[in-house]
Each structure stands twice: as C-alpha cells, then as structure tokens.
Chain A
Amino acid sequence: MLAAEAGAATSAGWFLENAWLFPAVPFVSFLLILFFGKKMPKKGAEVGIAALSIVFAAALAAGVQWIQHVNDAESAHSTEETHSTEETHAEEGATTEEGHSEEGATTEEESHDEGALAVGGGRSAVLGPVLAVPMAEEGEAHASVPPVVTEWISDWWTVGGIDFQVGTFVDGQAVMMLFVVGLISLLVHIYSTDYVHGDIRYTHFFAFLSLFTASMLLLVLANNLVMFITAWELVGVCSFSLIGHWWEEQNNSNAALKAFLTNRVGDMGLLIGMITLFFTAGGGRTFNIYDINVAAASGTVSQTALTVAALCLLAAVMSKSGQFFLHTWLPDAMAGPTPVSALIHAATMVVAGVYMIARLFPVFFEGMSIAGGSINAVALIGALTTMVGGSLAFVQRDIKKVLAYSTVSQLGYMVMALGVGAWTAAMFHLMTHAFFKACLFLGSGSVSHACNHSFDMKTDMGGLRKYMPKTHATFLVATLALAGFPLMSGFWSKDEILAGTGGFGLSEKANGNYQLMLVMGLITGGMTAAYMTRCYWLTFMGEWRGANSPNAHHGAHGHDDAHATAAAHGPAEHDTVAGGHVSGHDAHDAHDVHDAHGAHGGLPHESGPRITTPLIILAALAFVATFANIPGQFNFVPEGWRLRFEHYVEPKGEYFPTISHAEFSPIIAIISLIVAAVAAGAAVAYYRRAEAEDPMATELANGPTSKGGLPALGYKVLANKFYLDWLYTDVIVGFVKGPLARAANWFNQNVLDGIVNGTATVFKRTAGFTYTVLDQQVVDGVVRGSGIGASETGGLLRRMQNGRVQGYAALMFAAAAVLAGVFVLAV
C-alpha cells in the first residue's frame, strides 16, 4: 500500500509508525502474567501496571506526535494552497478538488487516485462549495491530514492471489482512544491491586485485564475489518471471562453467557456487514478501512449496498454498545468485579460500537443518508436508547445498575450524535463519558468497600459523605459532569450533541433538522440529572443505614475466610479447598472485596490511596476535559484554544465525508441546563421531604409510589402553594419514577427478556423435537429400516436351508425342470 510508504516518507513520528507496540506490550504482559504471574512477588499485578504505564506514556507521546503531524500537514497545505488557487484560476473548470487529489497522491495508491479523479467531476460539484466556505472562514482548516497507515505483516492470509495485511491505522480518532484506553486501564489496574486484593483468582484477573487492554488497543488501531472483528470478539471474550470471574455461582456465569451470546447476535451483523463492504466498497479485493472509507465517501458505491452494510453493522453496535433493544446484557454484566465494570462496561469496550460507527463513518453517512436530515435508524436507535436507559435507571436499588443503565443511556447519546452527523460531539462525549463514568464506577466500588461489600443503596448506604470525603467529592464531581452541570465536561459534550441535531433550527450549520432527536435528548438530559441526584442522595446524604443491614456481618466473616484460605493454598490445590468453602457466597457483592483490613461491623471508612488516587485523577479529568473542545464562537478565548478536539481528532481527507459542524447554540444550552436543573431540583426536593419525615428513609413514605396513578391536576397545582414541590415530586419524578419507569422495567424484564428467553425455549423445544422425532425416528429410521429389511429377507431364505439332502435335490431337479422348460420354449 502506498499509503503506508507515504506515511513513512513524511515521517509522522515514531510512535505513530510503530503503533503495533500498543497492543503488543499488554499482550506480552498477558502471557507473562498467565504463565509466571503466580510466582511473582505481587502475583502478576506489577507486570500489568508496568505494561500499562508504558502504553500510557506511549499514548501521550503518540498524542504529541499526532498534533505535530496535523500541524505539519497544515503548514504544508498552506504553502501549497496558494499554488492550488492559482491553478484553479488557470484551469477555470477545475475546482479545489484537483489540488486536493494532488496532495492525496502522497497518501494513497495511484489506482485510487485515478478513481478519485474519474469521479472528481461529479464530486467536486458537491465538495467544492462546502469546502470553500469553512476555508474562507477559518483559513487554516481542511488541510487533508493523511492517517498514518503501516503494515506489520504483508501477507496475513492470502486467497486467490489477494494478500490481506495486518497493520495499524492511526489518526486523531485512534490516538484519542489510545489515550483514553491507556489511561483508564492504567488507573483501573492500580485501583484493582487494592480492590481485588486477596481474591481467589487475583493473577487470573490481572492477566485478563492485560489481554483486554491489548485487544481493545488492537481494535482501536485495526487498519482492516478482519483485524477489527478479531479484536472485537477478543474484547468480548475478555468481557465474558471477567464477568464470569466468580464462576462458582450460576448467576455470574449466566450473566457472562448472556453477554457473550447477545454480542454474538450482533457479531452476525458485523460479519455480514463487513462481507458486504468487502464486496462493494472494497471491490472484492480489500478489507482496508481506509480504502473502504474512500470508496464509500466518493459516492461510487451503490447506496443500497451501503445501507444494507450500515444496517448490519448497526446490529453489531446495538449489541456491543448496549443499544436498545439488545442492551439487556449490560446491566447483568455488573455481576463482574467493579473495576471490570468501570473499564470494560463503561469506559472502553462498550464504546467499541460507537467507535466503529465513527471509524466507518462514510459508510453510515452515505448509507443512512445522514446529510439528508430525515430520521435514520442510527439516530432513532440512539435516541430510543437514551430514553430507555435513562428511565430504567430510576428504579434500581443496586448502585452499579443505576450506573449501568446510565451507561446505556449515554451510549445512546453517542450513537444518536453519530446518527445526526455530529461526529466530533460523539467522540468528545465518548471521551468525557469515559472519564466521569469510570470515576463513578470506581467510586461505587469504593463505597461498597466500605458498606458491607454490598451495592444496595437502600439497605447499606446513606450518609457516606461524612465517612468517605474523598470518594464523596470525586463522586460528586463525576455526578455533576454526567448530569450536565455547567463548566463540567459532560455539559459541553452533551450540549454539542444537542446542537448537532439542529432541531427546530436552534443551532447553525447542523447536518439536518432532527427535531425528535433534540427533544428526546433534552428529556434524557433531565432524567439523567434526576436519577443521578437520586443515586447520589441515597448513597451519600442522609444517615448511614448499613448497621442494620442483613449484609452487615456476612461481609466480615464467612467468605473472607474462604477466599483467604483458597488464596493461601494456591490455585494448584483448588480441588482440595473446593469442597469445604463453596457454600458461603450467594451474591456477587459478597465476593467483591476480600481485604481483611476493613473495620467491618463498625462505621464505614475511607478507602486506601490506591483506590482514591485513581478517583481523584478521573474526577479532575472530568472537569479538565471541558477545555478540550471550547466552542468556536467563544471569542474571548484565544483562537488556538478553541475547538482543539475537533481540530486534531476529526479526520480530514478523502476517507471522511464532508460533514457540517453545528455551532454552539446558547438557546439549546440554556434549555438543557434548565431541564437538568429542574430534574435535579425535583429529585433533591423529593428526598428532602423524605428525609424530613424519617432520617433513615430512602423514599417518601406516602410518596408517588404509594399513591400511584397520574394526577392530572395542572390548574389546581398552579393555585396551590406547594406548586413546585407537588409538581416535582408527584408529576415529574412520580411519573418518571413510578409508572413510566416501572413500565419500562416491566417491558425490559418481561417483553424483551421474555423474547430472549422465549427464543431460547423455542429453540430448545425445536431442538428436542428435531432430535427425538426427526432425527431419531424419521432419518435414523430409514437407516435402521434398511438393515431390518435385509435381515428379514435373510430370515425367510433361511427356512429353505433345512439340511435335508433330498430337499436340496428336489430343488435342484425342480430348477433343472424349469430351465429345461425355458430352454424348450425359447428355442
């Protein structure tokens, strides 16, 4: 591939060209931990942390080099721009496209160039004006920045004279993900050394964290779809084995199986989608993402094919990124250890689907006609997911499940953003969400650490702000970010998405007018604020309820002993330990921490530094990320500080469609702010009132759940003095928290889960029928029948063999007579 050579020729930077390092380092760490981990002083954790430190440092270096790479490309562009403009004037009919392809020649194959030129006539008409506008305005943007494509193995596999390569594809999007994955994985490693300390499979845990990180980085860097699906499934396997980390209990292994199988359904879509792309956009010759993107963006590929491919890929996104209606596995996946939930099921793996849409954006852009502005499947699925996830989060008692549904909801935001063409907003939200959601999950682990190792907010938590100041502060910051509190990163990323919908013409330069998406996004924003307030309140406000909890003593004794013993004996002797200690644990939370130092039975306590430090770093990032993408209209900020994320992360070149960037819209920002504030305020009011009645209460004793129904008393309320109180508690929170959420939960548990279970039952029944009737009786019957037939015939003939010589002689004479008769007649 010339792209590779070109990348090397321009010398983009060592880390960008040698990106194989990123997955290779954690993979080596995986092997080391797997084979030698148990003999190491820290049981393998040190290898994992060392590997991740290298990865993170390399990711930072890659980030710096990428920024340099973009700047180089731009300065090269601006020197050439004058030349290009002259040429444009000289050749009259030719547009900037001409100049573009000339530069493009450095980035891709000759043949492609010809292709691009061949369609250039048609395409430049579209591209020309669109390109011209931002160029005129911003001056420096829209230099084509070639991605750094390298090849590690030139013939990974080969069929019919076509070689398929292994290689890396590094651009801003990938570098951003390298940073996010590297950082969060490193923090989770550090956190885990304390959190799963003394666990029965401590070494195994770190081995799989390393393998997961390697696979995720491979996914990020994959330069072709076969590598992509490889990494995609590998992260699924890591997720499977980490959800089922405590596989002794059926619940956990069930959750692991559910996760893997649901994902497998989506993988079917990925498989078919990528095959379709291979034969259409890839021309039956290549799986390379770059080539497929160029072909899809150029408009030479049939729209139908792209639509089919996009729909198939969307199925994969729905399963991997927990989109409505394949999201049910994600909350169940919380059965895994909390660091796993933070790393895999919040920050990284579940965004793989979002990452894929972003990576193959031209396919979705053309296939779904995103530029058209009418509702498309991607946006619709995303929008539905935000609402489903958000509403379900209200009725959860388990703090991790609240966060899980919240993750579903936020992933919906990202998908919706991509569906409306707000690419940068989606990626920005992906990053900010990774920070604050990882912080929330790790915080919930820290809380559970203190509260009888339980995750139940109603029985074991409450009032923790007094006992755990650091955890409280970081959790609060992350909650504010998630809820969309101004100046927090979550506010800006969410606002960009809402502006990107361009609904009702409230924001300039959006790709279309997605009114429904805007409305749904706003509603979810409100829900998010409310359920996070609820979550925060139940955990940190009020009085500590854990002393009277049924879990209070459980956590302190039984299982700690069991695992401590098991760990002391070493895994080689599991079988001897197994018999005696299996009865002690009945819920995943009982396992979660096995640290004997805790003051169990006493009051909650703050966690150790290895747990709080990652929390503080993540909380800080949840705030700092704000400055990554300051809106372009904020003229009080220097030019070089605005829209940095968009500038460096968003691809520029032929492999990316020309999308329009929505501008910051004060109106939308204010509306979303109001919605969030009102929702949060309502939640606060609700719990204030509950607390006033009973300091230990977790909900209003005579609140909406006890009354039920939907009071439609708008007028009366206006006249009422407690208008605000009443509205917040009974109508908004009540409806959302009561019937709506319960209906959603019911739908989730009965209809959706029912379909899943029903399908399984039907298959099992069909399988039983097919096997017992069709296979054993019909198909096998034919086989056995032929055997029996032969044997019966033999039985008949056997009677003639009576052993009497005279009988034989009679037969012989009879036969001779018959033959003689035949002879006489015939002759």
Chain B
Amino acid sequence: MWLNQFLVLGAVLFCIGVYGVLARRNGVMVLMSIELILNAVNINLVAFGAFHQTPAGQVFALFVIAVAAAEVGVGLALVLLIYRNRSSIDLESVDLLKG
C-alpha cells in the first residue's frame, strides 16, 4: 500500500525531470532536471529496498548521489565553458554535433 505512493512520487518527479530536459533551453535548468530524474530513481531505489527488507537499495542510492554530485560538477563546468565561449547557455544554439 505505501509502496505505491513512493512510486507515484518517483514517477511524477521523473516526468517533471524529463519534461525539464526536453523543454528547457537553459543549460543549468536542464542539469537540474537531470538531477530530478536521478532523485526520482533514488526514491524508487530506497522504496524498493525498504519494501524488500534489504539495504541494497540504500547503498545504490548513495552511489547514485555520489555519481550525481560528480556529474553536476562536470556538467556545470561544461556549462560555464560554453558560457565563456558563447556568452549564452541557450542549448538551441549549441548544435556543433550537427551532421
């Protein structure tokens, strides 16, 4: 019964995150949205861990948090560099990968 609520929360957070990644043009906002997605996963991990009576969920969540911290560090550094080079962090204008 209580598992559902956590999962719904996770799903909502995930959707918000996905929306943010896809719709926002601001690089920082996209990074934050990615954080949201990761946290949605974390909620799921912890919820399932508690449900199954195992610490594995919490362990994985801790890993994710650690990785997410590193990712945000790198991500923000990238955004900063892009800003320095282009005076903008609008993702629409960053299409150097275009084939």
Chain A directly contacts chain B within the complex, with at least one CB pair under 8 Å: yes
Interface residues in chain A, defined as those with a beta carbon under 8 Å from any beta carbon in chain B? 798, 801-806, 809-810, 813
Q: How far is the CB of A126 from chain B (nearest CB, A)?
A: 91
Chain B residue nearest to A804 (CB atoms) is B95
The CA-CA distance from A365 to B23 in the complex, in Å, is 101
Instruction: Name the interface residues of B1-32: CB closer than 8 Å to any CB of A.
Output: 18, 21-23, 30
Pick the contact of B98: A802, A809, A810, A813 (CB < 8 A).
A802
Q: Is B94 an interface residue (CB 8 A)?
A: yes
Q: Which of A801, A806, A813 has the most C-beta atoms of chain B within 10 angstroms of its own C-beta?
A: A806
In the complex with contacts A804-B91, A805-B91, A805-B94, A798-B22 CB distance below 8 A? no
Closest 10 A-B residue pairs measured CB to CB?
A803-B98, A803-B95, A801-B99, A803-B97, A798-B99, A804-B95, A810-B22, A809-B21, A806-B22, A802-B98
The CA-CA distance from A805 to B23 in the complex, in Å, is 11
Tell whether, in the assembled complex, residue B91 and residue A806 are in contact, meaning their CB atoms are under 8 Å apart. Answer: yes
Between A and B, 25 residue pairs with Cβ closer than 8 Å are: A798-B99, A801-B97, A801-B98, A802-B95, A802-B98, A803-B95, A803-B96, A803-B97, A803-B99, A804-B91, A804-B92, A804-B94, A805-B30, A805-B94, A805-B97, A806-B21, A806-B22, A806-B23, A806-B30, A806-B91, A809-B21, A809-B22, A810-B22, A813-B18, A813-B22
| CB < 8 Å A-B pair total | 30
The CA-CA distance from A194 to B95 in the complex, in Å, is 91
Instruction: Name the interface residues of B71-99: CB closer than 8 Å to any CB of A.
Output: 91-92, 94-99
Q: How far is the CB of A795 from chain B (nearest CB, A)?
A: 11
Residues in chain A near residue B98, CB distance under 8 A: 801-803
The CA-CA distance from A810 to B24 in the complex, in Å, is 12
The CA-CA distance from A802 to B23 in the complex, in Å, is 16
Residues in chain A near residue B94, CB distance under 8 A: 803-805
The CA-CA distance from A753 to B97 in the complex, in Å, is 72
The CA-CA distance from A85 to B22 in the complex, in Å, is 120
The CA-CA distance from A802 to B98 in the complex, in Å, is 5
The CA-CA distance from A756 to B99 in the complex, in Å, is 62
The CA-CA distance from A810 to B95 in the complex, in Å, is 15
The CA-CA distance from A810 to B21 in the complex, in Å, is 9
The CA-CA distance from A809 to B31 in the complex, in Å, is 13
Chain B residue nearest to A808 (CB atoms) is B97
The CA-CA distance from A809 to B30 in the complex, in Å, is 11
Instruction: Mark interface residues in B60-79 (1 if CB within 8 Å of A CB, else 0).
Output: 00000000000000000000
Chain A residue nearest to B92 (CB atoms) is A804
Residues in chain A near residue B30, CB distance under 8 A: 805-806
The CA-CA distance from A334 to B99 in the complex, in Å, is 73
Instruction: Mark interface residues in B21-59 (1 if CB within 8 Å of A CB, else 0).
Output: 111000000100000000000000000000000000000
Q: How far is the CB of A770 from chain B (nearest CB, A)?
A: 42
The CA-CA distance from A801 to B97 in the complex, in Å, is 8
Q: How far is the CB of A754 from chain B (nearest CB, A)?
A: 64
Residues in chain A near residue B91, CB distance under 8 A: 804-806
The CA-CA distance from A804 to B93 in the complex, in Å, is 8
Residues in chain A near residue B21, CB distance under 8 A: 806, 809
Residues in chain A near residue B96, CB distance under 8 A: 803
Residues in chain B near residue A798, CB distance under 8 A: 99
Residues in chain B near residue A803, CB distance under 8 A: 94-99
